[in-house]
Structure formats: structure tokens, C-alpha cells
Structure 1
Amino acid sequence: MSNELIFKDATRLAELIRTREVSPVEVMQAHLDRIAAVEPRVNALVTLADTAMDAAKAAEADVLAGRELGPLHGVPFTVKDSIDTAGVLTQRGSPIFKGRLPEQDATSVARMKKAGGILLAKTNLPEFSYWIESDNLLSGRSNNPWDLTRTPGGSSGGESAAIAAGMSPLGLGTDLAISVRGPAAQTGIVSLKATHGRIPMTGIWPRAPRRFWHVGPMARSIRDLKLAFEQLYGPDGQDAFSTMTVPFDAGIGSAPVRPLRVGWLVEPGFGPVDPEVSAVVKSAADALAGLGMVVEPVRIPALERDFALDVFNRLHVMEMKPAFAEATAGRRPDELYKMAKTMLGLPDTSMADYIDAEQAAERLRDGFAEYFSKYDVLLTHVLPIPAHKHGVEQFVINGQSVDATYLQGATVPLNITGLPGIAMRFGTSSEGLPINVQLVGSWLAESTILHVAGLLESVSTVRDLHASL
């Protein structure tokens, strides 16, 4: 029974609890047992919430008393350790914040709890959520449960590893350029980066700047992303980016009034892509065509004119350096890991380059606006390669040598433009590693990509969405 529970999705666990087929205590104990069995090898978790079992017992009492239950009642969830959790350590992957104990939950955490979810644990990340591998001086390196010699990604790599290994059914990560979608791709789970501002960033470092930052759900099923997003979206009166009151159409699965139009794109515009990954994207395109959608290869000229990763780097270095400088002021060098030292050592972008990058960002937004005037969804890859070995910083991809930052080539355009995107598995590499695709929608069109992702999930031949350690 324990093994059956740990690999059920959050939606099913909530159903089983609501119908009294299983108790919140049984669900919590199953996940705690799984953590004891596999966590030492994966190192996905930073801190267990010591109130988790007590909360499960209280949730069980609510069920037995016939009280009104939230949609996630009694379901455990995990949270990346950059997201504040009241009374549970939030240390941001740095000795600088060792022992930091927030007094309040981040808005996203509070909303998960309001829905009945129970905080189980905090998950590992790179220092300050700032790299594509989850490694730091405080809690060490997380491993990919599919192959412990490989990374589960960053910056939400501990979260992705925990879900893929069956230690958690559902979690929260953050995404600056890749960080919920890349880790999802490296571990074969699903994640949603909603339209910028849809989910408040209140209670998450840094307070500023945050115009490219997002917080979003990570899970093992598309219906779990939908369920979590329904709880998470909407203004909170504190994050000024989160002012959009456009309602989310929760009618996933409803028939559209016309065939949906989907363009698929691998190259050019995103950098080089491994042929195995390209083949999975093409396979997903064929599957969508088989579902009755109008599907065709496309090009987006704005991506070819302005390489989004270069635009992001020129903008974000100037914006982020003050936050790093403030956080690390007066600290010893041995308290800083790779990315803090790297960021603080980068030269400032010249004013001319910064202005040019701002204009390039506008051109990218305009280019996507033009695209979405003709199409409903963009299908592409998430990462140009499957999960890589730990510590690799140079890659040869499809005959071209690139550094590790290029792994963000297909994800960072959505952070610059604020567009929503879903990462979901649709294939497997020759080495047995997950390969995900990315579904991109127009602004505020989360319902559209959730609908398409749900259909794609229903025809997928991939069934092993968790690693059997």
C-alpha cells in the first residue's frame, strides 16, 4: 500500500482521502518512509517540517468529523528552500542564511495550505536559486534519481528530484530563466511557469528585481498542475506585478470551437539541439496532429534576430548584482559559493548595451504577439540535451560547442516575455533518460496549454514518470 501511495498523483490522493479510502496519516507516513529509504542517495531535501505528522493527524480528524475539506486536503507538498515557510527553515542555499526562520509563509505556500495541503519538507537548490545545478555550501549537491551521477537541474532541482523519486507528489519551485521547466525535463516530471504576475512572488528572495521571476507548481500529472494553479493564481495585494484579475478558465478538456493551431520549433532561434531531443518534439507534433489539431513547423523571426539568452544576460546582470551585493555585504569569502562570486565579479553592462537589450526584449514580445495572432500554442523542446553529468560546463550539441548557459536557450524567452509554459515528458533517450517537451501559450492562456498538455499526456506512451530507486 505504501508503494502504491507514493506514486499516486496529488489529485488521486486527495480523492482517496476525501472518500476515506486512505487517511492523511497513512499518506504522510508512506512519504516519510520513502524519504528514509531514498533521500540519503538523492539529497533532494534540506529540512523536514517537524509539524507534518501532527498536521496529517489534524487533517484526519477533519475528515472523520465530516468537516468541509479543501481540494488538497491531507496531501503532502514540498517547497523549494528559497520560498518562505513560517516556522520552517528557509536558508536559500547559503551559509549566509543558515538558521533563518521566517515568521510568515510566502503567498504561494499559504494558498497551498489553505487548500488543505500539508507542508512536508523544504527542497535543495543552488546558492540563491542561481544556477542550473542544485549544489551549495550549506546542503550539498542533489542527484538525479534516474542516474545519481547526473544532475536533476537547477534551480528547482531538489524539488524535481523529490517528486521524481516518490518523496513528494507535488511541490513549488521558482523560475528565473529555466528553473521549474529545466529540472522537470531532467527528471521527467511536469511543471508550469504561468504568465508573469499570475502567481505572486511575495515571500520569495529577491524582493527586487523580480520582473523575470516566477513561482510555479511541479508534479507528476497535468491535472495536478491545473489543480495547484487554481489555488495559486491571483493578486495578493503585495506583489505589484500580480495585479491581473483575469479569471482562469478551469475547463480543461472542453472542446474548442475550432481546431487548435500549433506551431512546432526546434531550430533556429534557440541554439543547437540534440537530434534525439528534436525527434521527440517532432513526435509530439505528430501526436497533436493525430488529435485533430492543425500542426506545422514554424519559425519566429524575432528569436533569430535577437538571441534571447544574450538579451537576458545583458539585462539581468545589471539588475541582479545589487541584490547579490546586499545579501553578501560584509561576509567572508568562504561563505560564498560559485554563483555569488561569479555574479559579483561580472562587469557591468554598458548603458548603451542595456538600452539595446531593453529594445530587443520589446522586439521579442512583439514577435511572440505576432506569432500568437496566428497560432494557439507553440511546441518546442525544454532542454537541448537530456540530463547531463554533474559539473559539466561545456557541451558539444549537434556538432556545436557551447557552454552550460546555453541549456536555457528555449526557456529564457518565456521569462523575458512573461509567456506561460508547461514542461512535460514525451520521450526517452537512448540512455534511458527522460526527454520533455515545452508547450507555450499566449499571455494568460494557461487554460489552453493545460488543455493541450492533458491531451498530449493521454496519448503518451511514456508511463514511467518516476524513478524506481
Structure 2
Amino acid sequence: MTSDILFSDATTLAQLIRSRELSPVEVVQAHLDRIAAVDPKVNAIVTVAAGALDAAKAAEAAVMKGEELGPLHGVPFTAKDSIDTAGVATQRGSPIFKGRVPDTDAVSVARLKAAGGILLAKTNLPEFSYSIESDNLLTGRSNNPWNLDRTPGGSSGGESAAIAAGMSPLGLGTDLAISVRGPAAQTGIIGLKATHGRVPMTGIWPRAPRRFWHVGPMARSVRDVALAYSLLAGADGADAFSSITGPVDTGIGAASIRPLRVGWLVEPGFGPIDAEVAATVQAAAEALKGSGCVVEPVRIPALERDFALDVFMRLHIMEMKPAFVEATAGQPAENLFHIARGMLAAPETSMSDFIEAEQAAERLKDGFADYFSRYDALLCPVLPLPAHGHGATEVTINGQTVSALNVMAATSPLNVTGLPGLSLRFGTSRDGLPISVQLVSSWMAESTILHLASLLEGVSPVRGLHPNL
């Protein structure tokens, strides 16, 4: 029964709690036991919430009294350690913030709690939430539960590893250029980066550069990500980018009035792509065609003209570096990991290059606007290759050696443009590692990619697989 609890999705757990077939205490305790058993290998959890069991007991009492229950009542969730949690340490992956305990919850945490969710633990991340690998001086390196010698990604790598390993059914990550979708792909779970501004970033650090940061749900089922998104989205009156109000359409179970038009793309535009990844994207395209969608290969000229990763790198350094300078001011050298050192040493973009990058970002937005005038969605890679080894600075893809930062080549376009994207596993590498695909829709059209993801999930060749820890 414990195994059933650990690898059930949050929606199932909530249903079983509501029907009194499971106790919230039983569910929370099972996850605490799982953390104790497997986290020494994975190192995904940095702080266990001391009040989780007490919250579970209160949730159980509410069920027994017949009180009105929220959609996540009694279900545990985790949150990346850059997201503020009242009374629970939020240390941002740095000795500079060791022992920091916020007084209030981030809006995203507060909204999951308001739906009945129970904060279980905080998860590991890179220093300052800024790297493609979750490693830092304070809480160390996280490992991929599918292969401990591989990375679970960054910057939400602890979150992705915890969910994949059955330590949490649902979590919150943040995404600057890859950090929800990439780690989700590397560990075989589902991650959603909604349209920029759909979910408030209030209570999350760093906020610079504000126009690229997102917070999003991570889980093991599409319906869990859809449910969490429906609870998280909407203006909060504090984050000026988050100004969207009204009901959220998740698209799950919706009947289309016409076949959805989906273009699929592997190359060009994203740099080199591993053959196994390319084959998985094509297999997903065939699956969508078999589900009644109109699917065809496409090219997006804007991605070929302006390499989005280069645009992102030129834009964000000028905006993010001051936040690093401020946070590290007066700190001894031993408090700084190589991530902060690298940012502090990075040359600033010249004003002419910055302006040209701004124009390139606008060209990318125009190019996607043109594409989505003809198609409902884009199917493409999340990553150019499966999870790589720890500490990689270069990776070799189809015989071509490129910077490891190229793992962001297919995800960063959505941060530069603010488009929504979803990562979903649909294959397995010859080494037994997850391979995922990315679904992209037009701005505010999250319901489209959630619907398509549910179609792919229903025919997935890898559904139900879990790491053997």
C-alpha cells in the first residue's frame, strides 16, 4: 500500500482522502519515510517542514468532521528552496542565506495551501537558482534518481528528483531559461511553464530579470499539473507582470471543435539534437496524428535567424548581474560558489549589443506570432540530449561538441518570448534515461498544450515507469 501511495498522483491521493480511504497522516508519513529511505542517495531535500505531520492531523480531523475540503486537501507538496515558505527555511542555495526563515509564504505556496495542500519539504537548487545543475556550497549536489551519476538538471533539479523518486507527488519550481521544463525532462516527470505573468512571482528570489522568470508546477501526471496551474494562475495585486484575472481553462477532457493543427520541429533552430531525442519527437508527432490532430513537419525562420539562447545570454546578464553584486557585497570568498563567481566576472553586454538583442527578441516574438496564426501548437525537443553527467561544461551531440549551456537551446526561446511550454516524457534512451518532448502554444493558450499532453500521456510508451532506488 505504501508503494501505491508514493507513486499515486496528487489527484488520486486527494480523492482517496476525500472518500476516507486514506488518511492525510498516512500519506504524509509515507512520504516522510520515503525521504528518509532514498534521499541520502539523491540529495533532493534540503529542509523537511517540521509542521507537516501536525498539518496532516488537522487535515484528517477536517475530513472526519465533514468540513468543506479543497481540491488538494491533505496532499503533500514540495517547493524549490528559492520560494519563500513561512516558518520554514528558504536558503537559496547559498551560505549567505543560511538559516534564513521567511515570515510569509510566496503567493504560489499560499495558493496551494489554500487548496488544502500540506508543505512537506524544500528542495535543492543551484546557488542563487542560477545553473543547469543543482549544486551549491550549502546543501551539495542533487543526483538523478534514474542514474545517480547523471544530473537531475537545474535550477529546479532537487524538485524534479524528489517527484521522480516518489518523495513528493507535486511541487513548485521556477524557470528562467530551462529550470522547470529541463529538470522535468531529465527525470521523466511533467513540468509546465505558463505564459509569462500567468502565475505571480511574489515571494520568490531573485526577481531580476523580471521579464524572464516564471514559477510553475511539476508532477507525475498531466492532470496534476493542470490542477495546480488552475490554482496558481491569476493576478495577486503585487506582481505587476501578473495582471490576468478570470477563470483558467485547463483543456483536460475538452472536445475540440476541429482537429488541432500541430507542427513538429527538431532542427534547425535549436542547435544539434541527439538522434534518440529526434526519434522521440517524431514518435510523439505520429501519436498526435493517430489521436486525430493534423500534424506536419515545420520550420520557423525566426529561430534560424536569431539563435534564442544567444539572445537570452546577451539580455539577461546586464539585468541579473546587479542582483548578484548586491547579494554578495561584503561576503568572504569562501561563501561564493563558482556560479556566483562566474556571474560576477562576466563581462557586461555593450549597449549596442543589448539593443540588438532586444530587437532580436522582438523578431522572435513576431516569428512565433506568425507561426501560431497557422498552427495551434508546436512539438519540439525539451533538451538536445538525455541527462548528462555531473559537472559537464561541454556535451557532444551527433559528433559535435558544444557548451553544456546548449541544453537551454530549445527552452530559452519560450522565456525570451514569454510563450507557454510543457515537458512530457515520451521515450527512453539506450542508457535507460528519460527522453521528453516539449509542447508549445500561443500566449495564454495553456489549455491547448495541456489537452495535447493528456492525449500523449494516454498513449505513452513509458507511462507508469519509476526509478528503481
The two structures have a TM-score, normalised by structure 2, of 0.99
Equivalent residue number for residue 195 of structure 2:
195
Equivalent residue number for residue 454 of structure 1:
454
Matched position secondary structure for 2:109: helix
Q: Distance in 1 between matches of 2:234 and 2:244?
A: 7
Any conservation in 1 of the 2:250–2:451 contact (CA below 8 Å)? no
AA at the equivalent of 2:101: L
Determine whether 1:219 maps to 2:223.
Answer: no
Cα deviation for residue 393 of structure 1 reads 1.1
* Cα 1:251–1:423 shift into 2, 3 Å: closer
Matched position secondary structure for 1:269: coil
Determine whether 1:138 maps to 2:143.
Answer: no
Cα deviation for residue 117 of structure 1 reads 0.2
Q: Distance in 1 between matches of 2:465 and 2:368?
A: 31
* Cα 1:32–1:177 shift into 2, 3 Å: same
Matches within 5 A, 1:56-455: 56-245=56-245, 247-455=247-455
Q: Distance in 1 between matches of 2:246 and 2:302?
A: 28
Cα deviation for residue 251 of structure 1 reads 4.1
Q: Distance in 2 between matches of 1:465 and 1:140?
A: 27
Determine whether 1:41 maps to 2:34.
Answer: no
Any conservation in 1 of the 2:250–2:446 contact (CA below 8 Å)? no
Q: Distance in 2 between matches of 1:364 and 1:117?
A: 38
Number of matched pairs: 469
Unaligned runs of 5+ in 2: none
AA at the equivalent of 1:273: I
Any conservation in 2 of the 1:173–1:180 contact (CA below 8 Å)? yes
Cα deviation for residue 250 of structure 1 reads 3.4
Equivalent residue number for residue 8 of structure 1:
8
Any conservation in 1 of the 2:383–2:407 contact (CA below 8 Å)? yes
Any conservation in 1 of the 2:395–2:401 contact (CA below 8 Å)? yes
Percentage of matched positions with identical amino acids: 74
Q: Distance in 1 between matches of 2:464 and 2:456?
A: 15
AA at the equivalent of 2:65: A
Any conservation in 2 of the 1:202–1:239 contact (CA below 8 Å)? yes
Per-residue CA deviations over 1:73-110 (Å, capped at 9, x if unaligned) read 00000000000000000000000000100000000000
* Cα 1:246–1:442 shift into 2, 3 Å: farther
Matched position secondary structure for 1:173: strand
AA at the equivalent of 1:328: T
AA at the equivalent of 2:135: D
Unaligned runs of 5+ in 1: none
Q: Distance in 1 between matches of 2:371 and 2:465?
A: 32
Any conservation in 1 of the 2:251–2:450 contact (CA below 8 Å)? no
Q: Distance in 2 between matches of 1:251 and 1:333?
A: 50
Cα deviation for residue 245 of structure 1 reads 2.0
Cα deviation for residue 463 of structure 1 reads 2.3
Any conservation in 2 of the 1:201–1:214 contact (CA below 8 Å)? yes
Cα deviation for residue 339 of structure 1 reads 1.1
Per-residue CA deviations over 1:307-327 (Å, capped at 9, x if unaligned) read 000000000000001000000
Per-residue CA deviations over 1:229-282 (Å, capped at 9, x if unaligned) read 011000000000000225322342211111100000010000100000000000
Matched position secondary structure for 1:454: helix
Q: Distance in 2 between matches of 1:195 and 1:216?
A: 10
Any conservation in 1 of the 2:273–2:397 contact (CA below 8 Å)? yes
Per-residue CA deviations over 1:168-212 (Å, capped at 9, x if unaligned) read 000000000000000001000001000000000000002333110
Matches within 5 A, 1:49-60: 49-60=49-60
Matched position secondary structure for 1:71: coil
Matches within 5 A, 1:13-32: 13-32=13-32
Any conservation in 1 of the 2:48–2:120 contact (CA below 8 Å)? yes
Any conservation in 1 of the 2:250–2:450 contact (CA below 8 Å)? no
Matched position secondary structure for 1:195: coil
Any conservation in 1 of the 2:125–2:157 contact (CA below 8 Å)? yes
Matched position secondary structure for 1:257: coil
Segments of 4+ in structure 1 off by > 6 A? Answer: none
Q: Distance in 2 between matches of 1:210 and 1:89?
A: 24
Cα deviation for residue 468 of structure 1 reads 2.1
AA at the equivalent of 1:342: G
Matched position secondary structure for 1:78: strand
Any conservation in 2 of the 1:235–1:243 contact (CA below 8 Å)? yes
RMSD between aligned alpha carbons? 0.7
Q: Distance in 1 between matches of 2:81 and 2:465?
A: 24
AA at the equivalent of 2:220: R
AA at the equivalent of 2:423: A
Any conservation in 2 of the 1:189–1:465 contact (CA below 8 Å)? no
Matched position secondary structure for 1:215: strand
Matched position secondary structure for 1:14: helix
Any conservation in 1 of the 2:207–2:213 contact (CA below 8 Å)? no
Q: Distance in 1 between matches of 2:85 and 2:448?
A: 32
Matched position secondary structure for 2:191: strand
Q: Distance in 2 between matches of 1:254 and 1:340?
A: 46
Matched position secondary structure for 1:402: strand
Q: Distance in 2 between matches of 1:320 and 1:361?
A: 17
Per-residue CA deviations over 1:206-227 (Å, capped at 9, x if unaligned) read 2333110000000000000011
Any conservation in 2 of the 1:189–1:466 contact (CA below 8 Å)? no
Q: Distance in 2 between matches of 1:82 and 1:371?
A: 35
Matched position secondary structure for 2:133: coil
Q: Distance in 2 between matches of 1:251 and 1:388?
A: 34
The two structures have a TM-score, normalised by structure 1, of 0.99
AA at the equivalent of 1:387: A
Cα deviation for residue 305 of structure 1 reads 0.3
Per-residue CA deviations over 1:340-378 (Å, capped at 9, x if unaligned) read 000010111000000000000000000000000000010
